[in-house]
Structures are given as C-alpha cells and as structure tokens.
Amino acid sequence: MASANCPECEGDVALGDDAMQGEIVSCPDCGVELELVSTSPPKLEPAPEEEEDWGE
Amino acid sequence: MDDEAAVDLLIRAVETPSVSGEEQAVAELLVERMRRAGFDRAEVDEAGNAVGHIGDGARRLVLLGHMDTVPGEVPVRREGRLLYGRGSVDAKGPLAAFVAAASRAGARAGWTVTVVGAVEEEAPTSKGARHVAPLWRPEACVIGEPSGSRAVTLGYKGRLLVDYRHAQGTGHSAGPGESAPTVGVAFWNALVAAGEELNAGRERIFDQLTPSLLSIRSGSDGLEEWVELTVSWRTPLWFRREEWEARIRELAGSAELRFYGGEVAVKGGKQNPLVRSFLASIRAEGARPRFKVKTGTSDMNVVGPVWGCPILAYGPGDSSLDHTPTEHIDLDEYLEAVRVLTGVIERLCA
C-alpha cells in the first residue's frame, strides 16, 4: 500500500491501492484533511478550506 | 459541442425571458439544443422541466440546474468577454455549461447522464426539483448554481418562516397596558435572544440560526388592535424544527402562529468520487480548487435529503451578482467550467 507524508506534521498517511487524484484523506496523527494532488509519486497538500458565501 | 456553440447556447438562453412560472420558451430552446447536441432523448416533462439524457446505463449522474429567473430585466449585451443579462449567473450559465459538458463527454458505458433544467427554483414551490426527486435514484448529483469555475459548493443552509399575529382590545396610549405593536416588537426581540443562546460558540454564519424580520404591520379598528410579523430563519445543519417551533410558541403566548416554507439544511461529504472528480478536474485547469458553503438555499435542499447520494453545487459565475441589476458572466470562465464539468463526467463515469 502506498503512503505519503502529511505536509502539516510529517506523519505517514496510508493510501489505498486504488487512491486517485483529488481524494480527500485525514492524517491519522494530526487529523488535518488532506488532498491527494498527484499519485505518482503520491503527494498530499492541505485540503481546501471551507469558505462561506451568501446567495444560491 | 464546441466553444462557439456553447457560447451561443448561453446567449440564446439569456435572451429568452423565463421568470418563474413562465419558462416554456426557454425549455423548448434547451430541448431543441440538447437534441442537436447529441442527447439520446430530450423533452419537456409534465412539470415543464427541460430534461435530456445521454446513454442508457443503470448508473445515473444527474446535473440539475434551473431555467427560471427572478424578475427584473437586465438588457442582454456583450462588453468584451462579459455577457450581461438576467439569469446569466443565476443560473443559465451553470445550466448551459451542463448541456455543453454532457454533450462533449458523450455516452459513458454503464451510465446515464441526465441534464435537468428545472422550473420554479426561484419560487417557494421548487416545483421542478420536487417533480424529479421521486423519479430517480442517482449515484451522484451536481446542482447548477454559481460557485465560480474553480470552486465547489458543499452545502446550503435551510429555511423556515413564520407568520405571527397578536390581537387585543384597544387601550389608551397613556394607559398602563402595552400596545399591540409593543407586544410584537417584544416578541421579535425575544426570538432574537433565543436564537443567540443557541448560536453561542458557533462562529460561522453557516452554523448559526439567523433570523430576518421580513415585515411588520399593525392596525386598529377602534375596538381591537393587532400586530402581524413575518419572520424568516436561515437554519443550520444542527437545527431541529420541532424543538424550535415549541420554543417560539412559548415566546408567542396566545398569539397566532403559522410556520411554513421549511427547507432542511444540507451538506454533502468530501470523501467521495464526485468531489474527487471535481478537485482533479479543476487542478487539470492549473487552478487550486476551493470549497464553499452557502447561507442561501437551492434545489440541493429539495433533492439532497431524498437522493442521499454524493451531491454538490457547481457552476460558473459570481453569486454576489445573483438577482442584481448588473448580473453578468465572464464567457472565458463559463468555458472553463464547461471543461471542468466535461472532465468530471469523464472521471466519474469512467
């Protein structure tokens, strides 16, 4: 199973064999949400923050 | 559907007025364009929705936009790459992008891609979305509302309204009793305070119960005086309508209350194939994706709880231009959204 380093805490984040670009995963050490931005090699970045917006 | 045809579709749709309840002309336009763009089936359904399908697979992706607009003519014109007109952002831009992207992606093995231009999203009825909600059980749904081409909207607040009426015998204004308008204002202040108690510690507006006093009226016929209020709440995910109604009844005393317009807040998850497809497709444009949550409501509030599938809202345009006299959309952003959506269909329905 592939893994990648958490960019926040350097923890090891396990990735499923079928992990795909755009996947959102949680770091088991620090709990931060991460986005798998590339699969070869596996690279994680902090997932987008939720912004508030009004309207429809 | 190439870029020229996609832009032409949007311009023609914006040029065709379609205030809620008067969507027939734009529905016919959309059906004609969907047929021309290679949809396998397209028709105006019993509710007046424009509905088109590509493919006949058992798995279904629904792209649910809306055709209707709020009133107020915004003359249709081009200024460079900007297209002005009522509905250009909310939400003919997102809907036209759905049609163009579904056409470009073409038939996907095992899937049916369904595009809906719903009627009456801007009306309290949500007639179009309510009509299609029981028809299908899709695996994923995209709601057509402006998020900007590089962002996806994960959720919307809900809504609840109440009409309040308090009446009492008239009294002299110099007397000790409170006038009916004073009672009404005290009720408003009490319900604001009750909401603030529940909001304690919740920082985001998306997570707060937010009241709005829509109208206040009072009168007297010489024997009886009365006050009437209409109050709207934008409701968060944690909101429990029954508990809140009971609290409001306590605060209202003997006044008459009528609750209506209830829509449940909805928010889709992030860890699913639909979100993954959007993030990858936005990054393929060289952009950094963003997540949004919105304080308004949309047809996601109607179909989200029924379908229970991965769901989000997406579309080109700046939602701060919704319902404004300067509503306009950037055609380059619109075409970027078409590419993003095409990539989403190709990734999700692979």
- The Cα–Cα gap between B204 and B300 comes to 20
CA distance B328 to B82: 6
CB pairs under 8 A between A and B: 83
% chain B with pLDDT above 90: 94
A27 in a structural domain: yes
Alpha helix segments (H runs only) across chain B: 3-15, 24-36, 93-105, 127-132, 180-199, 241-252, 273-284, 300-307, 331-348
Least CA distance to B321: which residue of chain A? A55
Chain A contact residues (CB < 8 Å to B): 20-25, 33, 35, 37, 47-56
Nearest chain A alpha carbon to B275: A22
Q: Could you tell me the pTM of the whole model?
A: 0.90
A35 close to B275: Cβ distance less than 8 angstroms? no
Domain that holds residue A6: 2-46
* Number of independent structural domains in chain A: 1
pLDDT at res. A17: 80
Q: Best residue in B294, B340, B349 to probe A by mutation, most A CBs within 10 Å? A: B294
Instruction: Report the CATH number at residue A12.
Output: 2.20.28.160
Q: Could you tell me the pLDDT band of residue B294, with boundaries at 50, 70 and 90?
A: very high
Would A54 be classed as within a structural domain? no
Q: How far apart are CA B110 and CA B269, in angstroms?
A: 24
Contact A55 B278 (CB under 8 A): no
Q: Which of B117, B131, B141 is nearest to B69 (CA)?
A: B117
Q: Are B241 and B263 within 8 A, CB to CB?
A: no
| Residue A42: inside a domain | yes
pLDDT at B216 over 60: yes
How far apart, in whole angstroms, are the C-alpha atoms of residue B266 and residue B150?
A: 21
For the annotated catalytic residues of B, the residue numbers are 68, 121
Q: What is the pLDDT of residue B174?
A: 66
Q: Which of A15, A39, A54, A56 to mutate to test the interface with B (most CBs of B within 10 A)?
A: A56
Minimum distance, in Å, between the CA of residue B273 and any CA atom of chain A: 8
Whole-angstrom Cα Rg for chain B:
23
In a domain, A33, yes or no: yes
